[in-house]
Chains A and B, each alone.
Chain A
Amino acid sequence: MNGVWEWFAWLNQAHGINLPVFYDSYDRQRFFAGLLTTLELSALSVVASVVIGLIGAWLLGTSSIIARRLVHGYVHAFRNTPPLIQLSFLYFAVGNLLPRLEGVGGSSRPLLDGFAWAVITLSLFGGSFNVEIFRSGIEAVPASTIEAAESLGFGRWRLYRHVVLPLALRICLPALSNNLVNLVKTSTLAYAIGVPELLYVSAQVWSDTMNVREMMNLLLVAYVGIVGVLSFGLRRLETALRVPGLGTVGGRI
């Protein structure tokens, strides 16, 4: 590994391409900590937004008017407002209303830190789109297939678990992939509330080193990599779930 770090030191000396995040141990430590934070933030938000989407879409299918209205209200609030404003609102306005925890020596710290608020906001933001995405998938499952399952004695929960959701997931996976990819990219907004994710630490590095051009390029490459892994995984999932006669044969690369 040391050889790689030394190569970046040489790259700086020989060509003036300055990437201290590889050859300087302090910058390297904070850059990779930022990368890890971005990965954690993205993974948690992706999973939580899918769970929110599933629960919301399920509630929209229930007979409770109150539940349906609540889900509609939530979708409208989070789908129709900018995520940066949501993040600021939850972190500054709602966050300050929460009780503070006792810290060391009479100091206090907030109940939820910036990272927690970023996960919550991104999950709610992504989840509001996922509700609609899952709803479109669920509504595309033919009524006749549902009736066949009902005739076999499937109750509501088993019907969802074994018939509706597996089919709905296959139908909505392309749209879901879009939204999850978008969500990962939106995680950079956590910068605004001081979460030390990849963009935040990169900005720290370029402020110290004045290597804006190099860091910008590195950021782009990093995101292409992160999102590439996610979209590769989602595409593999799509292929694995594909069954004959359902959906199109297209979508191959």
Chain B
Amino acid sequence: MLDTIAERPAPAAVASARPAAAPAVMLANVRKSFGSTRVLNGVTLSVKRGDVTCVIGPSGSGKSTLLRCINALTPVDAGTVVVEGIAVHDPALDKLALRRRVGMVFQQYNLFPHKTALENVMMAPIHVLQEDREEVEARAVALLTKIRLLDKAHCYPGALSGGQQQRVAIARSLAMRPTIMLFDEVTAALDPVMVKEVLSTIRDLAEEGITCILVTHEMGFAREVADQVCFTDHGIVVEEGPPEMIFTQPEDPRTRDFLGHVTF
């Protein structure tokens, strides 16, 4: 199963036009305000292909907005956002081209309540990509097997636990065969057992080489799995680096202060 995802055809036209080391996601000087509230105040961040990046920071520091700028759910006011060679900040952006490469998973799962788990996973490939139903169903069954929920394939989201819903939501995104996955506090509404289930699913993705960007408060996970941790505060990236550096020798006093309040 892991193979079918790794084997997806890379967006060839874009890939060939780009040096191999080009970052999967690149944000430069991104600004965003909601009314008079400035949420992003010049964010600069670069994420390597295949890396796991954890974005940490206090609530209201702009973490979620940062994530939402990457798949154009939130249009940026200024700055550049380039994802797999696509200029996301461009008003003429082809959203479908972007969103078939970038999957997103939310804190509240947001599954389609009128569709079963299997149908949730199949919907986007069938209706958006207009792929063959049988092929999509085979892929969806394989994805549900992978997240160990094949026995719940015909359950509606309302009949699943939070952790199960969240894993279905991950499978639903993966069915589009994205190269980048965004996770917006996906474990915040779950109990510790479910958190473990979901994090282990994300860990599998990272091992398959999917670029993962997580907004999270799971410091243990960030420390263990992340290739890069970035600390945000007041709409800027204060500090970024490998987890061993951020967690053991943070340079900025704000990072030290935040991590001082965190228990692992």
- Mark A residues whose CB is within 8 Å of B: 142, 144-145, 147-155, 158, 161-163, 166-167, 170, 241, 243-246
Contact = CB atoms under 8 A, between A and B. Distances in A.
Contacts of A148: 104, 106, 110-112, 169
28 contacts: A144-B110, A145-B112, A147-B73, A148-B110, A148-B111, A148-B169, A150-B95, A152-B123, A152-B173, A152-B176, A153-B100, A153-B128, A153-B176, A154-B127, A154-B128, A158-B127, A161-B127, A162-B123, A162-B127, A167-B112, A243-B114, A243-B156, A244-B158, A245-B158, A245-B159, A246-B113, A246-B114, A246-B158
B167 interface: no
Interface string B81-108: 0000000000000011001101110101
B158 A152 contact: no
Interface in B125-146: 127-129
A241 B96 CA distance: 30
A151 B113 contact: no
Query: Which applies to chain A's interface (DSSP): helix, strand, loop or mixed?
Result: helix
Contacts of A163: 112
A244 B173 CA distance: 22
Counting from the closest, the 3 A-B pairs by CB-CB distance are: A245-B158, A244-B158, A148-B110
Contacts of A149: 112
Given A151-B104, A154-B127, 4 more contacts: A152-B99, A153-B128, A241-B114, A243-B156
Interface residues of B, number: 29
B132 to A, nearest CB: 17
Contacts of B104: 148, 151
Contact of B95 (A153, A162, A241, A244): A153
Interface of B: 71, 73, 95-96, 99-100, 102-104, 106, 108, 110-114, 123-124, 127-129, 156-159, 169, 172-173, 176
A245 B172 contact: no
A153 B124 contact: yes
A152 B106 contact: no
B110 A147 contact: yes
Q: Which of B110, B157, B169 has the most CB of A within 10 A?
A: B110
Nearest to B107: A144
Nearest to B97: A153
Nearest to B102: A151
Given A151-B99, A153-B95, A243 B158 contact: yes
A152 B71 CA distance: 10
A152 B172 contact: yes
A155 B111 CA distance: 17
Contacts of B95: 150, 153, 155
A225 to B, nearest CB: 32
Contact of A145 (B110, B156, B173): B110
